[in-house]
Structure 1
Amino acid sequence: MTKKRLEAFEEIVKQNERRIHFHILRLNLSDPHKEYFQEGLCAMWNAYETYEPDKGPMATYFNYTIRNRLVDLARKQGRESRNQQSACKEIKKHANDGNRIKRAEASSEILSNLDEERIGIHVWGILKQELTDNQWKWVYYYIISCMKIKEIAIQEQTSEEAVKSWGKQVRKKLRNNDFQKRLNLYG
């Protein structure tokens, strides 16, 4: 990349920076860590690189590219959040399964909170023994610590796809009936 081209892009960023903020506000996105703004800058760079003047004005192309990239990122983060919540619910459901006495009108807990905590620690310990190191890292960081896939990948110095693969392997094991029996989730 030439220095002139980079300087030209810096000038375009100065002129169009408000365009990114406009789309963030228009899409009602919360951006405390400036990740949407960064995505908008990347989208602007890609639009700048692929722009063809004979197909229309650059501003229209910027708007189209930036908006669509921000929508894609918002959808992706929403999907990851839902997946994380469902994984947490699934683990909690299995950990608490069978912990109630059913009566005619109401159900009451068999164990106290302290006992539930001990059982939870016990289940996590058994689970840790049954998983590979990477699979346990996914459980610990993603489920217990509620970290994002990207944060785990950075911390473990690997790709996001590798971290996602660890999660898929864990989910597959958790669905396996024999594995669930070994964990004593169903008693």
Structure 2
Amino acid sequence: MKKEKSFTFEEIFKQNERRIYYNLHQLGIRDYYGEYYSEAMFAMWIAYKKYDRDEGPLSTYFNYAIRNRLIDLIRKKTREYEVEKEYIEQETALLIAETNSTYTSSDTNIPDEKLWKNVFSTLTINQRKWVYYAIILDYPVKEIAEKENVSVEAVKSWGKEARRKLRGVWDVKSEFL
């Protein structure tokens, strides 16, 4: 049988906020954006709403709810990361295959596959398109925009961001960078 709660959630939260930090620390989570903290706070609120005195102490229930919610979020983030990583690898392989097919056997500067995988792993899809069309195929910005059905300004933006990222990855000076 549920009994009336004598404290508000705000009061309970102030008393138990350290449980969130404890669980974050125990799970080795670095929460730069506060995402895990807010998820743990939500778990605490749900636990507060569902709590039944007959089931045991509220503090134990809080610890259980917070820890499991954080573990679920870690698993979700890991799955998302793996899917994104696989997609990037597929796109990189596709772009490398397209890049290699544009060269003939007489070309002496066939791109190094490891180098391109490294370069493409840091870029978004649109930035990869810019690298492929502008650097590898030497297309003008207007032609890239027409080919991709976007504005010239969008293509310039892709290039600007790609150059910024490539400066951090690549130690090579180029007329495009």
The runs of 5 or more residues in structure 2 that have no matched partner are 113-130, 150-157, 163-177
Amino acid at match of 2:110: E
Q: TM-score, normalised by structure 2?
A: 0.56
TM-aligned CA deviation for residue 108 of structure 1? 6.5
Cα shift at 1:82 = 1.6
Q: Structure 1 pair 96/40, CA: closer, same or farther in 2 (3 Å)?
A: same
**Does the C-alpha gap of structure 1 residues 125 and 34 become closer, same or farther in structure 2, counting only changes over 3 Å?**
farther
136, 139, 147: which is aligned to 1:116? 136
> How well do the aligned residues superpose, as a CA RMSD in angstroms?
3.5
- Change in CA separation of 1:8 and 1:98 when aligned onto 2, cut-off 3 Å: closer
Provide, for residues 9-46 of structure 1, a one-character-per-residue CA deviation record: whole Å limited to 9, x for no partner. Answer: 10111000000000001000110111111001000000
1:116 positional shift = 2.4
Q: 1:110 to 1:76 in 2, by over 3 A?
A: closer
CA contact (8 A) 1:43 1:66 kept: yes
Name the counterpart of 1:89: 89
- Whole-angstrom CA distance in 2 between matches of 1:54 and 1:7: 17
Partners of 2:85 and 2:65 in 1: how far apart? 30
Call closer, same or farther: CA 1:125–1:20 in 2, change over 3 Å.
Answer: farther
Aligned pairs for 1:70-149 within 5 A: 70-97=70-97, 99-100=99-100, 109=110, 115-116=135-136, 118=138, 128=148
Question: Which digits, 9 at most, give the CA deviation of each residue in 1:101-120, with x for residues without a partner?
Answer: 8x9xxx96269x8642658x
Q: For the structure 1 residues 108 and 6, does the alpha-carbon distance in structure 2 shift closer, same or farther, using more than 3 Å as the test?
A: farther
Aligned partner letter, 2:55: K
Aligned length: 122
Could you report, residue by residue, the CA deviation over 1:124-174 in whole angstroms, capped at 9, with x for unpaired residues? 975x56xxxxxxxxxx9xxx9xxxxxxxxxxxxxxxxxxxxxxxxxxxxxx
Contact kept in structure 2, 1:36 and 1:70, CA below 8 Å: yes
Task: Report how far residue 123 of structure 1 moved.
Answer: 8.7
Q: 1:97 to 1:63 in 2, by over 3 A?
A: same
The 8 Å contact of residues 39 and 69 in structure 1, kept in 2 or not, is answered as yes
Match of 2:58 in 1: 58
Matched-pair identity in %:
34
TM score, norm. by length of structure 1: 0.54
Q: Which runs of 5+ in 1 are unaligned?
A: 130-139, 145-187
